[in-house]
Amino acid sequence: MGKNNRARRAAKARDRKRRASVRGERGPRSRNGGGDEPWISTDELIDGLVDLAPARLAAGDRQFAEQAASRLCECPRHAVARGVETALMGFVARLFTVGWQPAEVVRQARREGGAIQAALAATAIVAHSSFVSAELIDPRWQRQIDELTSTSVGDARAGAGGWFADWSDHASLAPTDEMMAAFELLVTVRSLPPIEELIPPPGSHSTGKHSPLPGDLSTGDHELLERVRHLLDKAESTEFEAEAEAFTAKAHELITRHAIDVALLADGATSATDEQPVATRIDIDDPYADAKSLLLQIVAEANRCRTVYHERLAFSTALGFSGDLAATELLYTSLLVQAQSALAAAARSAPPGARTRSRSYRSAFLVAYANRIGQRLEQINEHLVDEAVGKGAVLPVLRSREATVADAFAARYPNMASTAVRGGHDPAGWAGGRQAADQAQLTFADLDDAAEDADAHAAEPAALAP
């Protein structure tokens, strides 16, 4: 055989090998029966690329990931969809075993990749849940699945090559873009660290194994929180700062009075309650996440709870008794809305380029706001405790409950470190924040007036709209 013929045959052999690696063909066997090793199958190629591309993407090699996406687009679409579905549901299942909840996984997907990745994560989680019997899913977990179902796409027929293709059609992405979105989501879910388990994942639920979370409240707690929610809705909807402060203060008064009533009941009871502190996670979003986490910490401590901020994951874990935790989250959310409204109003009234629009001003504003809110809540607590002192041993019981929370917190986070909030040092921002938190010099008579006004409007749903 001539030299040129050998070169041409070698080139053709290399070309056949390259095409076979994409199509999943098998290589030729030699005539003596020894044969070459077969090329990888289509499924092996897909699984290999779906596993390797996210790892290379996480290492910064985006070019490899894009090339892998292009090669996968040359494979049968149903086979690629099946491989992607299997990978995504596999990593979702692993996250559930290390503390993550459905809504939290979707939130992290949104933080890292936006709405497209969030919708893909929600669809994968709903598909995963279809494999688990409803009897093995904690009701609090199921509520999150139900909420995600409204944002998911497809029929969740895991393994049938259905829901990933449906999601792709809904997202209107080019084939390579849909593959890159899947790779990027796999990068996100692979990078999430283990966290504390607060709700048992599907398959591990057993009655009585876990303490209730704030979503499982007594009838009395629900009634209280409805009144608190009503007052905070009024605080958020009014355009008058003094009125907003009055509604907010009254809401906290109700929360504190309820805690005192519980303490008085415990003091008169023949046996101590079996209730123990529980934990929940509260989202802390940018910008100014450190100042927002400070506001949550201050509100939580005023309601006999404790918090720890997880900066990388953008949430705080709050620990306390169930009713106090639910009240803390309600009050924190309302106060944050009011602070943001005050900042927006300051920016609207200022000329372009003014200090009220600067990051330093806004950061200082929120830190000052949080500190002043803490002072006001402490004043309310002291006043109400003084009123209740003659009715029973309220102080020892309240202190006992606070000590129980503190002990549980120390046991969960023995190595926790405190850091200073990196707030701005703008004097104008600091003054503005204190003014927003203390616009009205409230008296306790003002609080009673706010309660009467809220009760008078209880039958007017339109007045509650923010």
pLDDT of residue 12: 56
pLDDT of residue 208: 41
166/70 Cα distance (integer angstroms) = 20
410/238 Cα distance (integer angstroms) = 40
What average pLDDT does this structure show over 455-463?
A: 39
- DSSP lists the bridge partners of residue 309 as 316
Tokens standing for residue 463: 């007045």
How many CB atoms are located within 10 Å of the residue 408 CB? Answer: 17
Global pTM reads 0.74
**pLDDT of residue 20 exceeding 50:** no
Give 138's Cβ-side CA count (13 Å radius): 24
**pLDDT of residue 191 exceeding 70:** yes
**pLDDT of residue 392 exceeding 90:** no
Three-state SS for the chain is CCHHHHHHHHHHHHHHHHHHHHHCCCCCCCCCCCCCCCCCCHHHHHHHHHHHHHHHHHCCCHHHHHHHHHHHCCCCHHHHHHHHHHHHHHHHHHHHCCCCCHHHHHHHHHHHHCHHHHHHHHHHHHHHHCCCCHHHCCHHHHHHHHHHHCCCCCCCCCCCCCHHHHHHHHHCCCHHHHHHHHHHHHHHHHHCCCCCCCCCCCCCCCCCCCCCCCCCCCHHHHHHHHHHHHHHHHHHHCCCHHHHHHHHHHHHHHHHHHHHHHHHHHHHCCCCCCCCCEEEEEECCCCCHHHHHHHHHHHHHHCCCEEEEECCCCEEEEEECHHHHHHHHHHHHHHHHHHHHHHHHHHHCCCCCCHHHCHHHHHHHHHHHHHHHHHHHHHHHHHHHHHHHHHCCHHHHHHHHHHHHHHHHHHHCCCCCCCCCCCCCCHHHHHHHHHHHCCCCCCHHHHHHHHHHHHHCCCCHHHHCC
Q: Which residue has the higher pLDDT, 24 or 369?
A: 369
What average pLDDT does this structure show over 89-99?
A: 93
First to last CA, the chain: 86
**pLDDT of residue 18 exceeding 50:** no
Q: Which residue has the higher pLDDT, 30 or 24?
A: 24
Least confident of 87-96, 287-296, 328-337: 328-337
pLDDT in tens, 108-164: 999 999 999 999 999 999 988 888 888 888 888 998 999 898 766 655 544 344 788
**pLDDT of residue 458 exceeding 50:** no
What average pLDDT does this structure show over 449-456?
A: 50
pLDDT of residue 280: 92
Domain ranges across the chain: 43-191, 219-464
Is residue 109 within 8 Å of 185, Cβ to Cβ? Answer: yes
**pLDDT of residue 37 exceeding 60:** no
pLDDT band at 262; cut points 50, 70, 90: low
What average pLDDT does this structure show over 69-86?
A: 92
pLDDT in tens, 243-255: 777 787 777 777 7
Per cent of the chain over pLDDT 70 is 70
pLDDT in tens, 268-278: 453 445 678 99
Tokens standing for residue 422: 């990196």
**pLDDT of residue 347 exceeding 70:** yes
pLDDT band at 29; cut points 50, 70, 90: very low
pLDDT of residue 205: 52
Least confident of 145-159, 298-312, 320-334, 355-369: 145-159
What average pLDDT does this structure show over 368-385?
A: 84
pLDDT of residue 207: 40
Q: Which residue has the higher pLDDT, 323 or 127?
A: 127
pLDDT in tens, 193-252: 999 999 999 877 554 444 445 545 555 566 766 777 777 777 777 777 677 777 877 777
67/72 Cα distance (integer angstroms) = 9
Q: Which residue has the higher pLDDT, 294 or 462?
A: 294
**Which residues, including other chains, have CB under 8 Å from residue 83's CB and lie 6 or more apart?**
43, 46, 47, 50
Mean pLDDT of the chain, nearest integer = 76
